[in-house]
């Protein structure tokens, strides 16, 4: 059994760790509220824009989808991996990295574009082909900065550098739950007859021109939504992880305190026995 000094040191260390994890939990909870508000306000607009695009695209001939709808054999693939800049958030980052590797295994020629230091560090250190990293996006998370990344993706696709672009991220469900998503970004999928609700539209200007303007805007909105989803999911995952860490530290502290009390009691009992034994020796 460890001596009393070692147990006291461990109790102090666990107590300090518990204070840190508790503080990190409260910080993540505060950040989560802002991030959650941002994605919940953004999601209805993004979904409605996508629905409108599907309805309009369904009225066009398949050849009118534009350069962003050019479906071709996948020889070169780009995977956009969205993670966080920091860890201590459970399996949040590892899930994205693992799914990105699964997609890479499906295509021999796969390139990565990373958003978040955890993905950038992993794929760079392990020798994967990383075309660009955007670790500083979270320092100024805005639609303008995300749109620039989306525009680069669209330009690379139309130039033929990639035949397919897939975005991997965590979709925010609630503070304790995130859904790992692997969404096709380019080419724009042609809507099926069942998914489109064709209405009686009056087009001004021509519908081809409207769709041509809507597709780039919709793609930028979809990428921005994915980043906002990931941002909110990160804080939710970290808050949950720190909550569990705080509880575990509390349990460990209780066990160590019990061990310390038992050791202290055993030491006192031993000292009493020594005193009694010494007194009996003097009397004999």
Q: Which residues are part of the catalytic machinery?
A: 89
- At 112 the three-state DSSP class reads strand
Phi, then psi, of 144 in degrees rounded to 5: -65, -45
Phi, then psi, of 190 in degrees rounded to 5: -75, 125
Enumerate the H helices of the chain as residue ranges. Answer: 4-57, 92-106, 117-125, 143-158, 207-283
Give which of 63, 70, 276 is closest to 187, Cα–Cα.
70
Using alpha carbons only, give the angle 82, 216, 207 rounded to the nearest 5 degrees. Answer: 150
DSSP string, 230-267: HHHHHHHHHHHHHHHHHHHHHHHHHHHHHHHHHHHHHH
Q: How far is CA 102 from CA 81, 182, 203, in A?
A: 12, 11, 43
Nearest 10 degrees: CA dihedral of 191, 196, 198, 203? -50
Which helix H or strand E contains 184, and what residues bound it? strand 177-186
In angstroms, rounded to a whole number, what is the distance separating the alpha carbons of residues 253 and 13? 9
């Amino acid at each position: 059994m460890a001596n009393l000094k070692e147990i006291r040191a461990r109790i102090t260390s666990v107590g300090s760790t518990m204070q840190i994890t508790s503080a990190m939990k409260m910080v993540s909870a505060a950040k989560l509220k802002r991030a959650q508000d941002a994605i919940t306000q953004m999601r209805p607009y993004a979904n409605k824009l996508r629905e409108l695009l599907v309805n309009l695209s369904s009225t066009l001939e398949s050849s009118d989808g534009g350069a962003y709808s050019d479906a071709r054999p996948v020889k070169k693939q780009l995977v956009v991996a969205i993670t966080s800049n920091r860890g201590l958030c459970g399996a949040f980052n590892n899930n994205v990295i693992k799914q990105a590797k699964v997609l890479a295994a499906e295509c021999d020629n796969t390139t990565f574009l990373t958003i978040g230091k955890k993905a950038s560090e992993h794929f760079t250190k392990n020798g994967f082909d990383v075309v660009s990293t955007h670790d500083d996006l979270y320092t100024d998370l805005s639609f303008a900065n995300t749109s620039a990344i989306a525009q680069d993706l669209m330009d690379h696709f139309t130039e033929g550098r990639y035949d397919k672009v897939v975005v991997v991220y965590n979709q925010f469900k609630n503070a304790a739950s995130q859904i790992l998503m692997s969404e096709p970004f380019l080419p724009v999928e042609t809507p099926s007859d069942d998914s489109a609700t064709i209405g009686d539209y009056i087009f001004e200007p021509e519908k081809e021109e409207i769709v041509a303007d809507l597709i780039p805007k919709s793609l930028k909105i979809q990428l921005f939504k994915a980043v906002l989803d990931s941002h909110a999911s990160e804080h939710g995952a970290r808050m949950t992880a720190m909550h569990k860490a705080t509880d575990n530290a509390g349990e460990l502290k209780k066990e160590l305190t019990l061990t310390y009390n038992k050791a202290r009691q055993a030491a006192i009992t031993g000292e009493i026995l020594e005193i009694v034994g010494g007194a009996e020796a003097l009397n004999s």
